[in-house]
Amino acid sequence: MKLTNILVCGIGGQGVMTATEILAEAALSLGYDVKKTEVAGMSQRGGVVSSHLRFGDRVLSPQIAAGEADLLVGFELAEALRWVHMLRPGATALVNLGRLVPPVVNLGLYPYPEQPVEQMRALGVSTHAFDASALALQLGNIRLGNTVMLGAMADRLPFPADVLRDAVLARFARRKPDLLELNRKAFERGRDAVAKAAVA
């Protein structure tokens, strides 16, 4: 079986690493060989975070090479643009339109890019853009944004969406059962949002 390569990126505190762990658990539950790696730059302080996940019959390395990612999941808009070079031709990007400006921008070290989604599309990337942060806030908790993003991925994986949904719910059933129903709703909101998102 062909390997599936997913790169998840964002800002510390958005749940990038948690989302990748849940994705890994879903793939493991189906018997895939799974490898993942993370790079967290001051993740607790709003620094940039990226996570590589690879699964298939046999995975030798957790690192995705440039030009080989099947799916780029950008929890933050500028970070999605920064990692777009990792995608293979014909791959897809799922992008949260909510902006969380990293410290390097606030400090004036780097400018925040103008129109990141348009820049991605100009590079020929099939980009689904939607506001996961706003959907999370509608449900009453910005921290639900990572579950919204997991829902957005659900129909773009080589296994049924309910496998990922069950992995999300199993995580919260163990740790925060009072948030179970909210996470179920957040997951479905993500699926709906990406289905309706404009693509170019």
Kind and range of the H or E run holding 93: strand 87-96
In this structure, of 3-12, 38-47, 55-64, 143-152, the range with the lowest mean pLDDT score is 38-47
Of the candidates 7, 118, 123, the one whose C-alpha atom is nearest the C-alpha of residue 70 is 7
CA-CA distance, 15 to 153, in Å (whole number)? Answer: 15
In this structure, of 144-153, 160-169, 188-197, the range with the lowest mean pLDDT score is 188-197
In degrees, rounded to 5, the angle at the alpha carbon of residue 43 between the alpha carbons of residues 107 and 81 is 70
List, in order of start, the domains of the chain with CATH numbers. Answer: 4-196 (3.40.920.10)
CA-CA distance, 105 to 89, in Å (whole number)? Answer: 30
CA-CA distance, 53 to 73, in Å (whole number)? Answer: 11
Interval 56-109: pLDDT, tens: 999 999 999 999 999 999 999 989 999 999 999 999 999 999 887 766 677 777
* SS3 at position 64: coil
Predicted confidence (pLDDT) at residue 137 exceeds the cutoff of 90? yes
DSSP bridge pairs for 5: 54
Predicted confidence (pLDDT) at residue 44 exceeds the cutoff of 60? no
Interval 96-127: pLDDT, tens: 998 877 666 777 777 888 899 999 999 999 99
